[in-house]
Amino acid sequence: MIDIRTCSRFAVLTVSCIGLISAAPPNEVPGRGVLCLGTFIYFVEKVGNQCRAGQDPEFQARIASYSQRFDDYIVRNTGGDPAVLEKFKEGQNLNSEDHRYICEGDVAESYDGFKSADAGELDRAVDELLADDGPPSFGDCV
């Protein structure tokens, strides 16, 4: 069952995240915002793998590389235990196999939003966010 509150929140977060990418504000506290942007990257990767396999290979490869960087950052900055990352992803419903949840609506639309974002701006936002180690948090995202 799809939680409407989660979908509504995801829509608001998608708009906020696209704004975050385009503004790329200085990251004053290391780790702040990592979970926010990471969650979007993870969902975009999941949409690509589960719903749009074979489409946009360069974009999907770039998103996969971001995803790996977020994985590494989160594990490294939460004590080195990959189980912490898996627990986080489970809590964000990132392990969902529900085709409708992933391939329709707000989650699927986030793929198009990130695909249409300027690649250089997204690269810079990810680089800046992951530049310095610190406890991963959502920051102002939610």
* pLDDT in 10s for each residue of the chain, 142 residues: 333 344 444 544 455 555 555 444 455 799 999 999 999 999 999 999 999 999 999 999 999 999 999 999 999 999 999 999 999 999 999 998 899 999 998 889 999 999 999 999 999 999 999 999 999 999 887 5
Query: What is the chain's Cα-based Rg?
Result: 14
107 touches 101 (CB < 8 A) = yes
What's the domain count of the chain? 1
Give CA angle at 68 (2, 86), nearest 5°. 50
Distance between CA 106 and CA 31 in Å, rounded? 26
Give me the pLDDT at residue 8, please: 41
73: domain range? 4-141
Give me the pLDDT at residue 97, please: 86
